[in-house]
Amino acid sequence: MRIFVSAGEPSGDLHGSNLVRALQRLAPEVECVGFGGDLMERAGCRLLYPLCQHSVMGFTRVLANLPRFLAVLSLADRYFRHHRPDALVLIDYPGLHWWLARRARFHGIPVFYFVPPQIWAWADWRVEKMRRHVDHVLCTLPFEKRWYEERGVPATYIGHPFFDAVRARPLDAEFMAQQYRRGGRIIGLLPGSRNQEVAANFGTLKRTAELLAEQFADLRFLVACYKPEHRARVLGELSGTRISIEAHVGKTPEIIRLAEACIAVSGSVSLEMMHHATPAVITYRVGRFTYELGKRLLKVNSITLVNLLAGKTLYPEYVSTSCNAEVLAKHVRTWLTDPLERQRLVGELRRLNAQVGQPGACERAARYVLDALARPAHAKLAA
């Protein structure tokens, strides 16, 4: 049996690697091939193209990368034609994945969407693409199953795979001990996993840190960088700064656990902060056109997964077209000066994590795909 798995960004690479391991654990004869990143390759997936190295967002950036995307789509189409896999599993990353799903269905290949894009939040007309090109949606958020089924899309709730990753990865005890020995209170700065996120948002995070350092002499700031090139960029922007700030690669969980609070760019990292019950304020800086478009298209009152799961605002969030350091610093000041307010939030995060932060999503997804493929060919996969 051969299963084609496709992920186009770092978080998808992580979830894809855990899915590949789960598939091979449940069915050792399964061969996994596809698009992804280093994590998927190390898990045993034979990569046809390192798609995660070219993660982009935004209309203009997609246009700039259109020749590459067309080449990737052509590569997939040739593979589907000559080596027909038994299934295609897509992980987030809409856009290119809609086209992959279309080509797979053309070749009669069942399509499963694992970690579906949040089309319920904006541009919900894209559910028609899901209905036409996807056999079954494996939902990561509790309310998604009903949303899809009400619109004629077969769906199953399996939980969020992020909790598989955060529970499986041990914390670096030596790193944490070193930081504890240095003393002071730590604030985590999380500038995102995409190059464009770091470029757009780190200046805001740095300015927020400077404002906080003016009031609290005992603060130290740790920047959680996703890869070395992010750290190099951060260190370049920190040149000449007088505040106590360090940048580390691959230490995001440790920094979150060490921190009194975090200032984070919006993304699935909010689930990791919830897992560690760390207070945080969320920011995301966009261009004016994207901001105005988002105001018109957004269908929900939050962009943060933790807030959506809670049904209320636990992590204050701000989408802005300019530096909003003052408002971000205000929330962190509250948690630093009001222990009762901080503890109240910590308690709410722990209760929410107990409700929704259960591991096993990747194994449930793998089991669903394998069980579906084992049914008679004439049976609907979505049955």
Residue-wise pLDDT for 78-99, tens only, equals 999 999 999 999 999 888 999 9
Q: Which residues of 148-180 are buried (b: 16+ CB within 10 A; e: fewer)?
A: beeeebbbbbbbbbbbbbbeeeeeeeeebeebe
Cα gap 69→62, rounded to integer Å: 8
Cα gap 220→181, rounded to integer Å: 13
Cα gap 78→83, rounded to integer Å: 8
Q: Of the ranges 56-65, 236-245, 260-269, 328-337, which is most confident?
A: 328-337
SS3 322: coil
What mean pLDDT comes out for the span 187-216?
95
pLDDT (0 to 100) of residue 64: 57
pLDDT (0 to 100) of residue 379: 43
Cα gap 191→283, rounded to integer Å: 9
Query: Are residues 29 and 144 both part of a single domain?
Result: yes
Which of 46-60, 92-106, 183-197 shows the lowest per-residue confidence on average (mean pLDDT)? 46-60
Answer yes or no: are the C-beta atoms of 116 and 137 closer than 8 Å.
Answer: yes
pLDDT above 90 (res 237): yes
What mean pLDDT comes out for the span 207-226?
97
In a domain? residue 380: no
pLDDT above 60 (res 205): yes
Cα gap 88→3, rounded to integer Å: 6
Cα gap 144→122, rounded to integer Å: 14
In a domain? residue 270: yes
In a domain? residue 184: yes
Q: How many domains does the chain have?
A: 2
Query: Are residues 336 and 348 both part of a single domain?
Result: yes
Cα gap 220→110, rounded to integer Å: 51
pLDDT (0 to 100) of residue 154: 97
Query: Are residues 306 and 252 both part of a single domain?
Result: yes
Q: Which two tokens stand for residue 97?
A: 């994945």
Cα gap 40→22, rounded to integer Å: 12
Query: Are residues 178 and 152 both part of a single domain?
Result: no
Q: What is the percent of the chain where pLDDT is above 90? A: 75
Query: Are residues 151 and 180 both part of a single domain?
Result: no
Amino acid (one-letter) located at 225: C
What mean pLDDT comes out for the span 332-356?
97
Query: Are residues 181 and 87 both part of a single domain?
Result: no
In a domain? residue 383: no
Query: Are residues 103 and 187 both part of a single domain?
Result: no
User: Residue 73 — very low, low, confident or very high, per pLDDT cuts 50/70/90?
Assistant: very high
Answer yes or no: are the C-beta atoms of 85 and 109 closer than 8 Å.
Answer: yes
pLDDT (0 to 100) of residue 156: 97
What mean pLDDT comes out for the span 312-329?
95
Cα gap 44→111, rounded to integer Å: 21
The CB density around residue 102, as the number of other CB atoms within 10 Å, is 15
Answer yes or no: are the C-beta atoms of 346 and 257 closer than 8 Å.
Answer: no
Cα gap 141→150, rounded to integer Å: 15
pLDDT (0 to 100) of residue 301: 75
Distances from the Cα of 296 to the Cα of 30, 121, 223, 293, 377, angstroms: 45, 11, 33, 5, 43
Answer yes or no: are the C-beta atoms of 210 and 241 closer than 8 Å.
Answer: yes
Query: Are residues 287 and 187 both part of a single domain?
Result: yes
Cα gap 383→380, rounded to integer Å: 5
CA 329 to chain centre: 24
User: Residue 236 — very low, low, confident or very high, per pLDDT cuts 50/70/90?
Assistant: very high
pLDDT above 90 (res 358): no
User: Residue 55 — very low, low, confident or very high, per pLDDT cuts 50/70/90?
Assistant: low
CATH number of the domain to which 103 belongs: 3.40.50.2000
pLDDT (0 to 100) of residue 60: 40
pLDDT above 60 (res 7): yes
Q: Which two tokens stand for residue 288?
A: 């004016």
pLDDT (0 to 100) of residue 124: 82
The domain containing residue 280 runs over which residues? 170-356
Convert the pLDDT of each residue in 301-313 to its tens digit.
Answer: 788 999 999 989 9
pLDDT (0 to 100) of residue 69: 83
What mean pLDDT comes out for the span 256-264?
98
pLDDT (0 to 100) of residue 264: 97
Query: Are residues 141 and 175 both part of a single domain?
Result: no
CA 132 to chain centre: 25
Among 237, 214, 336, 141, residue whose Cα is nearest residue 223: 237
Amino acid (one-letter) located at 287: G
Looking up tokens 């897992």 gives: 275
Question: What mean pLDDT is reported for the chain?
Answer: 91
Convert the pLDDT of each residue in 101-150 to its tens digit.
Answer: 999 999 999 999 999 998 888 778 889 999 999 999 999 998 999 999 99
Answer yes or no: are the C-beta atoms of 212 and 192 closer than 8 Å.
Answer: no
Mode of pairing for the β-strands spanning 317-320 and 31-35? unpaired
Handedness of CA 273, 274, 278, 280 (dihedral sign): positive
Q: Residue 151 is inside which H or E element, if any?
A: none
Answer yes or no: are the C-beta atoms of 356 and 271 closer than 8 Å.
Answer: no
Q: What is the percent of the chain where pLDDT is above 70? A: 93
Query: Are residues 245 and 318 both part of a single domain?
Result: yes
pLDDT (0 to 100) of residue 325: 96
Query: Are residues 325 and 190 both part of a single domain?
Result: yes
Which of 57-66, 135-144, 163-172, 270-279 shows the lowest per-residue confidence on average (mean pLDDT)? 57-66
Query: Are residues 24 and 116 both part of a single domain?
Result: yes
SS3 152: coil
pLDDT (0 to 100) of residue 296: 64
pLDDT above 90 (res 290): no
pLDDT above 60 (res 74): yes
In a domain? residue 56: yes
What mean pLDDT comes out for the span 361-382?
81
For the chain, the C-alpha Rg in angstroms (whole number) is: 21
